[in-house]
Structure 1
Amino acid sequence: MTDSPLARWERRNGAVLAVASLLYLASYAVRVLGHDLPAAVRNLCLTVTLAAWAVFLVDYVVRLRLSGLRLPRFLRTHWLDTVVLLLPLLRPVRIVQAYQTVQSHQDRPRLALHARVITYAGISVTLLGFAGSLALYQQEHAAPGADIVTYGDSVWFTCTTLSTVGYGDLAPVTPLGRLVAVGVMACGLALLGAVTGTFSSWLLQVFSREGERPPEKSPGASRKDD
Protein backbone atom coordinates (compact mmCIF):
# COMPACT_ATOMS: atom_id res chain seq x y z
CA MET A 1 0.00 0.00 0.00
CA THR A 2 1.38 3.45 -0.91
CA ASP A 3 2.52 5.40 2.17
CA SER A 4 2.99 8.83 0.63
CA PRO A 5 1.67 11.90 2.50
CA LEU A 6 -1.15 12.19 -0.04
CA ALA A 7 -2.15 8.55 0.44
CA ARG A 8 -2.13 8.94 4.24
CA TRP A 9 -4.29 12.04 3.95
CA GLU A 10 -6.80 10.22 1.74
CA ARG A 11 -7.00 7.31 4.19
CA ARG A 12 -7.52 9.58 7.18
CA ASN A 13 -10.12 11.97 5.77
CA GLY A 14 -12.20 9.51 3.74
CA ALA A 15 -14.87 9.19 6.42
CA VAL A 16 -14.93 12.97 7.00
CA LEU A 17 -15.52 13.63 3.31
CA ALA A 18 -18.24 10.98 3.17
CA VAL A 19 -20.08 12.60 6.11
CA ALA A 20 -19.64 16.08 4.61
CA SER A 21 -21.00 14.81 1.29
CA LEU A 22 -24.09 13.34 2.93
CA LEU A 23 -24.65 16.54 4.91
CA TYR A 24 -24.32 18.56 1.72
CA LEU A 25 -26.91 16.43 -0.08
CA ALA A 26 -29.26 16.44 2.91
CA SER A 27 -29.12 20.21 3.45
CA TYR A 28 -29.48 20.85 -0.27
CA ALA A 29 -32.51 18.53 -0.41
CA VAL A 30 -34.19 20.34 2.49
CA ARG A 31 -33.60 23.71 0.83
CA VAL A 32 -34.99 22.52 -2.51
CA LEU A 33 -38.00 20.60 -1.22
CA GLY A 34 -38.84 22.56 1.94
CA HIS A 35 -40.70 25.46 0.32
CA ASP A 36 -42.83 26.10 3.38
CA LEU A 37 -40.12 25.79 6.01
CA PRO A 38 -39.30 28.80 8.21
CA ALA A 39 -36.58 31.10 6.99
CA ALA A 40 -34.40 30.19 9.98
CA VAL A 41 -34.41 26.50 8.98
CA ARG A 42 -33.60 27.31 5.36
CA ASN A 43 -30.77 29.59 6.46
CA LEU A 44 -29.41 26.82 8.70
CA CYS A 45 -29.45 24.42 5.76
CA LEU A 46 -27.62 26.98 3.65
CA THR A 47 -24.99 27.31 6.37
CA VAL A 48 -24.53 23.53 6.48
CA THR A 49 -24.25 23.46 2.68
CA LEU A 50 -21.57 26.15 2.65
CA ALA A 51 -19.70 24.52 5.55
CA ALA A 52 -19.65 21.19 3.73
CA TRP A 53 -18.37 22.89 0.59
CA ALA A 54 -15.65 24.54 2.69
CA VAL A 55 -14.56 21.05 3.79
CA PHE A 56 -14.34 20.04 0.11
CA LEU A 57 -12.25 23.13 -0.65
CA VAL A 58 -9.83 22.47 2.22
CA ASP A 59 -9.44 18.87 1.07
CA TYR A 60 -8.73 20.04 -2.49
CA VAL A 61 -6.08 22.53 -1.34
CA VAL A 62 -4.40 19.94 0.89
CA ARG A 63 -4.35 17.42 -1.97
CA LEU A 64 -2.74 20.04 -4.18
CA ARG A 65 -0.04 20.81 -1.60
CA LEU A 66 0.71 17.18 -0.75
CA SER A 67 0.86 16.09 -4.39
CA GLY A 68 3.91 18.29 -5.01
CA LEU A 69 2.52 19.18 -8.45
CA ARG A 70 2.04 22.56 -9.99
CA LEU A 71 -1.54 23.69 -10.43
CA PRO A 72 -1.81 23.09 -14.23
CA ARG A 73 -0.51 19.52 -13.94
CA PHE A 74 -2.64 18.85 -10.88
CA LEU A 75 -5.71 19.99 -12.80
CA ARG A 76 -4.87 17.56 -15.61
CA THR A 77 -4.14 14.56 -13.39
CA HIS A 78 -6.91 15.22 -10.82
CA TRP A 79 -9.62 16.52 -13.10
CA LEU A 80 -12.34 14.61 -11.27
CA ASP A 81 -11.49 16.33 -7.98
CA THR A 82 -11.72 19.69 -9.75
CA VAL A 83 -15.07 18.90 -11.36
CA VAL A 84 -16.50 17.65 -8.07
CA LEU A 85 -15.32 20.81 -6.29
CA LEU A 86 -17.04 23.03 -8.86
CA LEU A 87 -20.14 20.80 -9.05
CA PRO A 88 -20.63 19.52 -5.50
CA LEU A 89 -23.73 17.53 -6.46
CA LEU A 90 -21.30 15.04 -8.01
CA ARG A 91 -19.96 14.28 -4.53
CA PRO A 92 -21.54 10.78 -4.63
CA VAL A 93 -18.64 9.81 -6.87
CA ARG A 94 -16.27 10.69 -4.03
CA ILE A 95 -18.49 8.87 -1.52
CA VAL A 96 -17.94 5.68 -3.50
CA GLN A 97 -14.21 6.36 -3.57
CA ALA A 98 -14.23 6.82 0.21
CA TYR A 99 -15.95 3.45 0.56
CA GLN A 100 -13.23 1.92 -1.60
CA THR A 101 -10.57 3.50 0.65
CA VAL A 102 -12.17 1.91 3.72
CA GLN A 103 -12.18 -1.45 1.94
CA SER A 104 -8.47 -1.08 1.13
CA HIS A 105 -7.63 -1.09 4.85
CA GLN A 106 -8.41 -4.80 4.87
CA ASP A 107 -5.76 -7.30 3.79
CA ARG A 108 -8.31 -8.65 1.33
CA PRO A 109 -11.40 -6.83 0.04
CA ARG A 110 -14.63 -8.12 1.53
CA LEU A 111 -16.18 -8.38 -1.92
CA ALA A 112 -14.86 -9.86 -5.14
CA LEU A 113 -13.96 -7.53 -7.99
CA HIS A 114 -17.18 -8.08 -9.92
CA ALA A 115 -19.32 -7.67 -6.80
CA ARG A 116 -17.47 -4.48 -5.90
CA VAL A 117 -18.04 -2.96 -9.33
CA ILE A 118 -21.76 -3.73 -9.17
CA THR A 119 -21.97 -2.44 -5.57
CA TYR A 120 -20.17 0.81 -6.43
CA ALA A 121 -22.37 1.26 -9.50
CA GLY A 122 -25.49 0.71 -7.41
CA ILE A 123 -24.41 3.24 -4.78
CA SER A 124 -23.42 5.74 -7.48
CA VAL A 125 -26.65 5.47 -9.44
CA THR A 126 -28.74 5.87 -6.27
CA LEU A 127 -26.90 8.94 -4.98
CA LEU A 128 -26.38 10.56 -8.38
CA GLY A 129 -30.02 9.93 -9.24
CA PHE A 130 -31.11 11.60 -6.01
CA ALA A 131 -28.83 14.59 -6.58
CA GLY A 132 -29.84 14.88 -10.23
CA SER A 133 -33.54 14.79 -9.44
CA LEU A 134 -33.10 17.57 -6.87
CA ALA A 135 -31.16 19.79 -9.28
CA LEU A 136 -33.67 19.15 -12.06
CA TYR A 137 -36.63 19.92 -9.84
CA GLN A 138 -35.01 23.12 -8.60
CA GLN A 139 -34.57 24.39 -12.16
CA GLU A 140 -37.83 23.17 -13.67
CA HIS A 141 -40.74 23.27 -11.24
CA ALA A 142 -41.37 27.02 -11.51
CA ALA A 143 -40.42 27.49 -15.18
CA PRO A 144 -43.15 28.64 -17.61
CA GLY A 145 -44.51 25.75 -19.66
CA ALA A 146 -42.56 23.17 -17.65
CA ASP A 147 -43.47 19.48 -17.78
CA ILE A 148 -41.59 18.66 -14.57
CA VAL A 149 -43.60 20.51 -11.93
CA THR A 150 -43.45 18.09 -8.98
CA TYR A 151 -40.57 16.25 -7.38
CA GLY A 152 -42.22 12.99 -8.37
CA ASP A 153 -41.99 14.07 -12.02
CA SER A 154 -38.31 14.82 -11.53
CA VAL A 155 -37.64 11.41 -9.97
CA TRP A 156 -39.50 9.68 -12.81
CA PHE A 157 -37.54 11.56 -15.47
CA THR A 158 -34.24 10.85 -13.70
CA CYS A 159 -34.98 7.13 -13.36
CA THR A 160 -35.97 6.71 -17.00
CA THR A 161 -32.94 8.68 -18.13
CA LEU A 162 -30.43 6.86 -15.92
CA SER A 163 -31.79 3.53 -17.12
CA THR A 164 -31.43 4.77 -20.74
CA VAL A 165 -35.14 4.01 -21.34
CA GLY A 166 -36.21 7.59 -22.01
CA TYR A 167 -39.98 7.43 -22.51
CA GLY A 168 -40.08 11.05 -23.64
CA ASP A 169 -43.26 11.85 -21.70
CA LEU A 170 -41.39 14.50 -19.70
CA ALA A 171 -38.65 16.85 -20.83
CA PRO A 172 -36.81 19.81 -19.26
CA VAL A 173 -37.40 23.24 -20.77
CA THR A 174 -34.79 25.40 -19.05
CA PRO A 175 -31.16 25.57 -20.21
CA LEU A 176 -29.79 24.47 -16.83
CA GLY A 177 -32.41 21.74 -16.57
CA ARG A 178 -31.36 20.38 -19.95
CA LEU A 179 -27.72 20.54 -18.88
CA VAL A 180 -28.56 18.47 -15.79
CA ALA A 181 -30.42 16.02 -18.02
CA VAL A 182 -27.34 15.63 -20.24
CA GLY A 183 -25.25 14.86 -17.17
CA VAL A 184 -27.78 12.27 -16.01
CA MET A 185 -27.69 10.66 -19.46
CA ALA A 186 -23.88 10.47 -19.39
CA CYS A 187 -23.88 8.93 -15.91
CA GLY A 188 -26.51 6.40 -16.94
CA LEU A 189 -24.54 5.30 -20.00
CA ALA A 190 -21.29 5.04 -18.03
CA LEU A 191 -22.80 3.05 -15.16
CA LEU A 192 -24.78 0.77 -17.46
CA GLY A 193 -21.63 0.07 -19.46
CA ALA A 194 -19.65 -0.70 -16.31
CA VAL A 195 -22.25 -3.12 -14.94
CA THR A 196 -22.83 -4.81 -18.31
CA GLY A 197 -19.11 -5.21 -18.95
CA THR A 198 -18.49 -6.60 -15.48
CA PHE A 199 -21.37 -9.06 -15.73
CA SER A 200 -20.19 -10.22 -19.15
CA SER A 201 -16.64 -10.69 -17.85
CA TRP A 202 -17.95 -12.72 -14.91
CA LEU A 203 -19.97 -14.96 -17.23
CA LEU A 204 -16.93 -15.54 -19.46
CA GLN A 205 -14.84 -16.53 -16.44
CA VAL A 206 -17.53 -18.95 -15.24
CA PHE A 207 -17.84 -20.59 -18.65
CA SER A 208 -14.05 -20.74 -18.97
CA ARG A 209 -13.69 -22.50 -15.62
CA GLU A 210 -16.40 -24.97 -16.54
CA GLY A 211 -14.67 -25.69 -19.86
CA GLU A 212 -11.38 -26.41 -18.10
CA ARG A 213 -12.89 -29.03 -15.78
CA PRO A 214 -12.02 -32.65 -16.70
CA PRO A 215 -15.02 -34.67 -17.91
CA GLU A 216 -16.61 -36.86 -15.27
CA LYS A 217 -16.54 -40.62 -15.87
CA SER A 218 -19.88 -42.37 -16.13
CA PRO A 219 -20.61 -45.28 -13.69
CA GLY A 220 -20.64 -47.74 -16.60
CA ALA A 221 -17.16 -46.72 -17.69
CA SER A 222 -15.87 -47.21 -14.16
CA ARG A 223 -17.16 -50.82 -13.96
CA LYS A 224 -15.67 -51.58 -17.38
CA ASP A 225 -12.23 -50.42 -16.24
CA ASP A 226 -12.46 -52.77 -13.24
Structure 2
Amino acid sequence: MDDESPYSRWEQRTEIPLFLASLLFLAAYAARVLAASMPSFWKEVCLYTMIALWLLFAVDYVVRWRLIGGRFLRFARTHFLHTVVVILPLLRPLRIVPLYDVIQRRQGQPRLSLHARVIAYASLATLLLGFAGALAVYQQERGAPGATMRTFGDALWWASATLTTVGYGDITPVTTPGRVIATGMMAGGLALLGAVTGSFSSWLLQIFSRESDTKPPES
Protein backbone atom coordinates (compact mmCIF):
# COMPACT_ATOMS: atom_id res chain seq x y z
CA MET A 1 0.00 0.00 0.00
CA ASP A 2 1.19 3.54 -0.82
CA ASP A 3 3.24 5.08 2.01
CA GLU A 4 1.27 8.32 1.57
CA SER A 5 -2.15 6.69 1.87
CA PRO A 6 -4.25 7.42 4.97
CA TYR A 7 -3.97 3.76 5.99
CA SER A 8 -0.16 3.81 5.82
CA ARG A 9 0.03 7.07 7.75
CA TRP A 10 -2.27 5.64 10.43
CA GLU A 11 -0.15 2.50 10.67
CA GLN A 12 3.08 4.47 11.00
CA ARG A 13 1.63 6.59 13.79
CA THR A 14 -0.04 3.82 15.79
CA GLU A 15 1.97 0.61 15.33
CA ILE A 16 4.61 1.35 18.00
CA PRO A 17 2.16 2.70 20.64
CA LEU A 18 -0.17 -0.25 20.04
CA PHE A 19 2.70 -2.71 20.36
CA LEU A 20 3.63 -1.17 23.72
CA ALA A 21 -0.05 -1.32 24.70
CA SER A 22 -0.09 -5.02 23.81
CA LEU A 23 2.87 -5.64 26.11
CA LEU A 24 1.02 -3.80 28.88
CA PHE A 25 -2.03 -5.99 28.22
CA LEU A 26 0.15 -9.09 28.50
CA ALA A 27 1.68 -7.80 31.75
CA ALA A 28 -1.74 -7.07 33.27
CA TYR A 29 -3.00 -10.51 32.28
CA ALA A 30 0.13 -12.15 33.72
CA ALA A 31 -0.35 -10.29 37.00
CA ARG A 32 -3.94 -11.51 37.32
CA VAL A 33 -2.95 -15.10 36.58
CA LEU A 34 0.27 -15.39 38.59
CA ALA A 35 -0.29 -13.08 41.57
CA ALA A 36 -2.93 -15.16 43.32
CA SER A 37 -2.51 -13.25 46.59
CA MET A 38 -2.85 -9.85 44.93
CA PRO A 39 -5.35 -7.54 46.72
CA SER A 40 -8.71 -7.35 44.99
CA PHE A 41 -8.20 -3.65 44.26
CA TRP A 42 -5.15 -4.33 42.11
CA LYS A 43 -6.87 -7.26 40.42
CA GLU A 44 -9.64 -4.90 39.39
CA VAL A 45 -7.08 -2.37 38.17
CA CYS A 46 -5.52 -5.07 35.97
CA LEU A 47 -8.94 -6.12 34.70
CA TYR A 48 -10.02 -2.58 33.79
CA THR A 49 -6.64 -1.98 32.17
CA MET A 50 -7.14 -5.05 29.99
CA ILE A 51 -10.66 -3.94 29.04
CA ALA A 52 -9.48 -0.42 28.16
CA LEU A 53 -6.63 -1.76 26.05
CA TRP A 54 -8.92 -4.22 24.28
CA LEU A 55 -11.24 -1.33 23.41
CA LEU A 56 -8.21 0.53 22.07
CA PHE A 57 -7.36 -2.44 19.83
CA ALA A 58 -10.98 -2.61 18.66
CA VAL A 59 -11.00 1.10 17.79
CA ASP A 60 -7.79 0.64 15.80
CA TYR A 61 -9.41 -2.26 13.93
CA VAL A 62 -12.49 -0.21 13.04
CA VAL A 63 -10.39 2.76 11.94
CA ARG A 64 -8.32 0.53 9.65
CA TRP A 65 -11.50 -0.89 8.16
CA ARG A 66 -12.96 2.56 7.53
CA LEU A 67 -9.74 3.85 5.98
CA ILE A 68 -9.62 0.97 3.50
CA GLY A 69 -13.37 0.92 2.89
CA GLY A 70 -15.40 -1.91 1.46
CA ARG A 71 -17.43 -4.57 3.19
CA PHE A 72 -16.55 -5.58 6.71
CA LEU A 73 -16.44 -9.33 5.98
CA ARG A 74 -14.05 -8.78 3.09
CA PHE A 75 -11.79 -6.67 5.32
CA ALA A 76 -11.88 -9.36 8.02
CA ARG A 77 -10.82 -12.02 5.50
CA THR A 78 -8.06 -10.00 3.83
CA HIS A 79 -6.70 -8.74 7.17
CA PHE A 80 -6.88 -12.03 9.01
CA LEU A 81 -4.10 -11.27 11.52
CA HIS A 82 -5.77 -8.00 12.56
CA THR A 83 -9.01 -9.89 13.14
CA VAL A 84 -7.32 -12.60 15.20
CA VAL A 85 -5.51 -10.18 17.51
CA VAL A 86 -8.73 -8.30 18.21
CA ILE A 87 -10.50 -11.52 19.15
CA LEU A 88 -7.44 -12.81 21.05
CA PRO A 89 -5.55 -9.70 22.25
CA LEU A 90 -2.90 -11.85 23.96
CA LEU A 91 -1.57 -12.52 20.45
CA ARG A 92 -1.20 -8.84 19.59
CA PRO A 93 2.56 -8.80 20.43
CA LEU A 94 3.05 -11.26 17.56
CA ARG A 95 2.61 -8.36 15.11
CA ILE A 96 6.37 -7.92 15.05
CA VAL A 97 6.85 -7.72 11.29
CA PRO A 98 4.60 -4.64 10.76
CA LEU A 99 6.27 -3.03 13.78
CA TYR A 100 9.73 -3.60 12.29
CA ASP A 101 8.60 -2.25 8.92
CA VAL A 102 7.37 0.95 10.56
CA ILE A 103 10.67 1.38 12.41
CA GLN A 104 12.68 0.79 9.23
CA ARG A 105 10.69 3.44 7.37
CA ARG A 106 11.93 5.91 9.95
CA GLN A 107 15.54 4.69 10.09
CA GLY A 108 16.27 3.83 6.47
CA GLN A 109 17.64 0.57 5.10
CA PRO A 110 17.50 -2.65 7.18
CA ARG A 111 20.66 -3.44 9.13
CA LEU A 112 20.09 -7.20 9.05
CA SER A 113 19.85 -9.51 6.07
CA LEU A 114 16.51 -11.02 5.11
CA HIS A 115 17.40 -14.40 6.60
CA ALA A 116 18.57 -12.85 9.87
CA ARG A 117 15.36 -10.82 10.12
CA VAL A 118 13.18 -13.90 9.55
CA ILE A 119 15.05 -15.83 12.24
CA ALA A 120 14.87 -12.88 14.65
CA TYR A 121 11.13 -12.37 14.00
CA ALA A 122 10.35 -16.06 14.46
CA SER A 123 12.47 -16.37 17.60
CA LEU A 124 10.89 -13.38 19.31
CA ALA A 125 7.41 -14.45 18.20
CA THR A 126 8.06 -17.91 19.63
CA LEU A 127 9.04 -16.46 23.01
CA LEU A 128 5.96 -14.24 23.15
CA LEU A 129 3.64 -17.01 21.96
CA GLY A 130 5.12 -19.45 24.46
CA PHE A 131 4.75 -17.06 27.39
CA ALA A 132 1.19 -16.04 26.46
CA GLY A 133 0.19 -19.66 25.81
CA ALA A 134 1.69 -20.83 29.08
CA LEU A 135 -0.29 -18.17 30.95
CA ALA A 136 -3.55 -19.03 29.21
CA VAL A 137 -3.20 -22.79 29.70
CA TYR A 138 -2.06 -22.43 33.31
CA GLN A 139 -5.13 -20.32 34.08
CA GLN A 140 -7.36 -23.11 32.76
CA GLU A 141 -5.43 -26.06 34.21
CA ARG A 142 -4.57 -25.04 37.77
CA GLY A 143 -6.87 -26.69 40.23
CA ALA A 144 -8.54 -28.87 37.59
CA PRO A 145 -9.20 -32.51 38.59
CA GLY A 146 -6.39 -34.74 37.36
CA ALA A 147 -4.26 -31.81 36.18
CA THR A 148 -0.53 -32.47 35.78
CA MET A 149 0.24 -28.76 35.34
CA ARG A 150 0.49 -27.61 38.95
CA THR A 151 2.83 -24.61 38.71
CA PHE A 152 3.61 -21.91 36.16
CA GLY A 153 7.02 -23.53 35.76
CA ASP A 154 5.20 -26.66 34.58
CA ALA A 155 3.29 -24.49 32.12
CA LEU A 156 6.49 -22.98 30.73
CA TRP A 157 8.05 -26.43 30.37
CA TRP A 158 4.94 -27.68 28.58
CA ALA A 159 4.90 -24.62 26.27
CA SER A 160 8.57 -25.15 25.36
CA ALA A 161 7.99 -28.82 24.55
CA THR A 162 4.88 -27.97 22.53
CA LEU A 163 6.34 -25.15 20.44
CA THR A 164 9.46 -27.13 19.63
CA THR A 165 7.24 -30.08 18.61
CA VAL A 166 9.06 -32.34 21.09
CA GLY A 167 5.97 -33.24 23.11
CA TYR A 168 7.38 -35.29 25.99
CA GLY A 169 3.89 -36.00 27.31
CA ASP A 170 4.84 -35.68 30.97
CA ILE A 171 2.57 -32.63 31.27
CA THR A 172 -0.62 -32.41 29.23
CA PRO A 173 -3.77 -30.25 29.41
CA VAL A 174 -6.83 -32.04 30.75
CA THR A 175 -9.46 -29.30 30.34
CA THR A 176 -11.23 -28.57 27.08
CA PRO A 177 -10.14 -24.88 26.92
CA GLY A 178 -6.58 -25.94 27.71
CA ARG A 179 -6.57 -28.43 24.85
CA VAL A 180 -8.00 -25.84 22.46
CA ILE A 181 -5.20 -23.45 23.38
CA ALA A 182 -2.69 -26.29 23.01
CA THR A 183 -3.94 -27.00 19.49
CA GLY A 184 -3.37 -23.39 18.50
CA MET A 185 0.12 -23.44 19.99
CA MET A 186 0.98 -26.61 18.10
CA ALA A 187 -0.03 -24.96 14.81
CA GLY A 188 1.88 -21.80 15.70
CA GLY A 189 4.94 -23.78 16.71
CA LEU A 190 5.00 -25.68 13.41
CA ALA A 191 4.67 -22.43 11.43
CA LEU A 192 7.40 -20.61 13.34
CA LEU A 193 9.73 -23.61 13.30
CA GLY A 194 9.19 -23.95 9.56
CA ALA A 195 10.03 -20.27 9.05
CA VAL A 196 13.28 -20.59 10.99
CA THR A 197 14.46 -23.85 9.41
CA GLY A 198 13.44 -22.72 5.93
CA SER A 199 15.28 -19.42 6.25
CA PHE A 200 18.36 -21.08 7.72
CA SER A 201 18.42 -23.69 4.95
CA SER A 202 18.09 -20.99 2.29
CA TRP A 203 20.95 -19.05 3.87
CA LEU A 204 23.17 -22.14 3.87
CA LEU A 205 22.35 -22.83 0.21
CA GLN A 206 23.29 -19.27 -0.71
CA ILE A 207 26.59 -19.58 1.17
CA PHE A 208 27.49 -22.87 -0.53
CA SER A 209 26.42 -21.55 -3.92
CA ARG A 210 28.55 -18.43 -3.47
CA GLU A 211 31.57 -20.51 -2.48
CA SER A 212 31.04 -22.78 -5.46
CA ASP A 213 30.90 -19.82 -7.85
CA THR A 214 34.08 -18.27 -6.47
CA LYS A 215 36.08 -21.54 -6.37
CA PRO A 216 38.81 -21.59 -9.06
CA PRO A 217 38.47 -24.31 -11.72
CA GLU A 218 40.42 -27.49 -11.17
CA SER A 219 43.46 -27.97 -13.37
Secondary structure in structure 2 of the residue aligned to 1:59: helix
Spell out, residue by residue over 1:33-71, the C-alpha distance to the aligned partner (whole angstroms, 9 max, x if none): 111010001001111111111110110010000012211
CA distance in 2, matches of 1:57, 1:93: 17
For 2:81, the equivalent position in structure 1 comes to 80
For 2:26, the equivalent position in structure 1 comes to 25
Q: What's the TM-score, normalizing by structure 1?
A: 0.92
What's the offset of the Cα at 1:214? 4.7
Secondary structure in structure 1 of the residue aligned to 2:107: coil
RMSD: 1.5
For 2:201, the equivalent position in structure 1 comes to 200
Secondary structure in structure 2 of the residue aligned to 1:166: coil
For 1:36, the equivalent position in structure 2 comes to 37
| Matching of residues 47-126 of structure 1 within 5 Å | 47-126=48-127
CA distance in 2, matches of 1:104, 1:193: 28
CA distance in 1, matches of 2:33, 2:101: 30
Q: Which sections of structure 2, spanning at least 5 residues, go unmatched?
A: none
Task: Summarize the Cα distance change of 1:214–1:143 in structure 2 as closer, same or farther, 3 Å threshold.
Answer: closer
CA distance in 1, matches of 2:198, 2:159: 23
- Whichever of the two has the greater Rg, that structure is 1
AA paired with 2:114?
L
May I ask how many residue pairs the two structures share in their alignment?
A: 218
Spell out, residue by residue over 1:68-111, the C-alpha distance to the aligned partner (whole angstroms, 9 max, x if none): 22112101101111111001111122244313321233331121
What's the offset of the Cα at 1:30? 0.1
Secondary structure in structure 2 of the residue aligned to 1:173: coil
Amino-acid identity (%): 57
Q: Which sections of structure 1, spanning at least 5 residues, go unmatched?
A: 222-226
CA distance in 1, matches of 2:107, 2:199: 23
CA distance in 2, matches of 1:187, 1:60: 23
Q: What's the TM-score, normalizing by structure 2?
A: 0.95
Asked if structure 1 preserves the Cα contact closer than 8 Å seen for 2:96 and 2:121, the reply is no
Runs of 4+ in 1 over 6 A off after TM superposition: none
Asked if structure 1 preserves the Cα contact closer than 8 Å seen for 2:12 and 2:102, the reply is yes
Asked if structure 2 preserves the Cα contact closer than 8 Å seen for 1:56 and 1:85, the reply is yes
For 1:188, the equivalent position in structure 2 comes to 189
CA distance in 2, matches of 1:141, 1:103: 42
